[in-house]
Structure 1
Amino acid sequence: MPEGHTLHRLARLHQKYYGKRPVRVSSPQGRFPAALVDGRVLTRAEAYGKHLFHVYAPDAIVHVHLGLYGTFTDAPLPPTLPVGQVRMRMVGETHWTDLRGPTRCEVLNAAERAELLARLGPDPLRRNADPAAAYTRITRSKLPVAALLMEQKVLAGVGNVYRAELLFRHRVNPRTLGTSVTEAQWSAMWTDLVGLMKDGVKKGRIDTVRDEHLPHVTGRAPRVDRHGGEVYVYRRTDQPCLICGTPVRKAELAARNLYWCPTCQA
């Protein structure tokens, strides 16, 4: 499932292609009420956590959650005939965009959007994000911190990669209880997470390895993985830790794979 930085990149892209202009919206698949927004001006495109919002004047908001299988594809005009199950097609002055396979693609009003956002924790990529709100929810729980970081009601936009890498970078054992996380730990983790996710928006991939541990510095081979990016523990099961050499471990926690170094995160 795409993590928050991907949705923020999409919002920027869609704002660039369609913002402040009328957009032709259709649903070749027939499963989205495109007529509710077709021909309206896209006021803005924005993301909150793993949710994307296209705000149309005067009072309609298209909400998209990509889930596990949703994808957007973009190209310059002219558009080609739809291929596959296209849930939503957008056609603007210069580009067209197809959306396939999302978990959610619906039209909301402002009150419904507010209700959805009220169920989410702070998004580290939003300027008004409140890290204290996330910390309060973390320290009130006796669940492992690794599980809490994946709870969108605690922290919006963080997925498995950022979860694993953040805990490693701060030497936090993933099974540490939320009640045991100190304010100083959380402050450092939040600041680091904001920087990592902003870098992800800029690059379009997740890089978490510090400069001194990069391949060209240490002489190791670059990472080869469909997720891209240089990481410390994510999907590196049984490979040596880049810092101490201990094999990286993997286990299941809350139905998701968890990666950590048993030495660095003892």
Structure 2
Amino acid sequence: MPEGHTLRRLAVRLTDAFAGHPVRVSSPQGRFEAEARLLDGTVLERADSAGKHLFVELAGERVVHVHLGLIGAFDVVEGPAPAPVGAVRLRLERGGAHPTYADLRGAIVCDLVTPEEAAAVRARLGPDPLRADADPDRAWQRIRRSERSIGDLLMDQAVVAGVGNVYRAEVLFRQRIHPLRPGRRLTRAQFRAVWDDLVLLMAEGVRTGRIDTVRPEHTPEVMGRDPRRDDHGGEVYVYRRQGQPCWVCGSRIRTETLNGRNSFWCPRCQRRPRQDAGRTR
């Protein structure tokens, strides 16, 4: 599932391509056809994101709420729109001197909602490290009282919005925190270090379009190692590196299922505190 930086990049791309222009709105697949007819010819005002949710705002207080889910994609392409290929749920088109189109496929949510309904979706989410208006204390107040593991809490979109499996694994490694440590056993300083690191890493993901988490001294160029080869891309410390040596200490990276998702960590760099041993997840 795309992580929060992907949705923020998409919001910026859609805003840059369509904001201030009337857009042709259609639903080649047909599942959004009635809504598309209502929106066709409306000026697109902006696109925004909150966590893994996208909101395309159009004139007349109309908002298209999108959640890509596991396989969704919203491709923005410069040039005249060709005949649609595949199950295109929503197509946006801009004409004129700089024609552009955007095709949405595979999303689990594509709904026309009111601003109030969009606000209700946002209200259910935890603070988003990519948003300037985020209040990290909201997340801290939930984490500090919880017996759930920090690895579980970071993936709960009602606690912290936009963090997925990659950022979860990598930020905990960078802060030397075992993913199974109960939230209430984190100090406020540890949580703040995790939050600040997420702000840094996810903003870099928006800038580059990939997740790179290794520090300068652990890059392939400095270490004289081969770049990572993975369909995910990006240089990482532990994510999908089970059985491989840690770039910092040389220990073998481990993995274990945590609430249905694979969790990755280094047993030496992220030692589980003795008081946490034997606790349930």
Same fold (TM over 0.5): yes
Q: Is the deviation greater in 143-152 or in 184-193?
A: 184-193
**1:36: how far off?**
2.4
Query: Aligned pair 1:26/2:31, yes or no?
Result: no
Aligned to 1:123, which of 128, 141, 144?
A: 128
**1:140: how far off?**
1.9
AA at the equivalent of 2:20: K
Aligned to 2:234, which of 223, 229, 233?
A: 229
**1:154: how far off?**
0.2
Cα distance in structure 1, aligned partners of 2:8 and 2:40: 23
Cα distance in structure 2, aligned partners of 1:164 and 1:75: 32
- Secondary structure, counterpart of 1:68 in structure 2: coil
The corresponding residue for 1:8 is 8
The corresponding residue for 2:78 is 76
- Secondary structure, counterpart of 1:140 in structure 2: coil
Cα offsets for 1:118-137 (capped at 9, x unmatched):
11000000001001111111
Query: Aligned pair 1:100/2:102, yes or no?
Result: no
Aligned to 1:254, which of 259, 263, 266?
A: 259
**1:115: how far off?**
1.1
Cα distance in structure 2, aligned partners of 1:148 and 1:36: 40
Over the matched positions of the two proteins, sequence identity in percent amounts to 56
The corresponding residue for 2:41 is 39
**1:39: how far off?**
1.0
Is there any run of 5+ residues in structure 1 with no aligned partner, and where? none
The corresponding residue for 1:58 is 60
**1:42: how far off?**
0.8
Aligned to 1:168, which of 170, 173, 181?
A: 173
AA at the equivalent of 1:205: R
Cα distance in structure 2, aligned partners of 1:35 and 1:141: 47
Aligned residues: 266
- Secondary structure, counterpart of 1:199 in structure 2: helix
AA at the equivalent of 2:82: T
- Secondary structure, counterpart of 1:69 in structure 2: coil
The alignment's C-alpha RMSD in Å is 0.8
- Secondary structure, counterpart of 1:107 in structure 2: strand
The corresponding residue for 1:265 is 270
Cα offsets for 1:64-106 (capped at 9, x unmatched):
0000010122222211111110000010132011110001001
AA at the equivalent of 1:253: L
Aligned to 1:151, which of 156, 162, 180?
A: 156
Cα distance in structure 2, aligned partners of 1:240 and 1:23: 51
Q: Which runs of 4+ in 1 moved over 6 A?
A: none
**1:49: how far off?**
0.5
- Secondary structure, counterpart of 2:138 in structure 1: helix
The corresponding residue for 1:111 is 116
Cα distance in structure 1, aligned partners of 2:160 and 2:41: 35
| Residues 128-139 of structure 1: pairs in structure 2 closer than 5 A | 128-139=133-144
- Secondary structure, counterpart of 2:21 in structure 1: coil
Q: Is the deviation greater in 108-117 or in 195-204?
A: 108-117
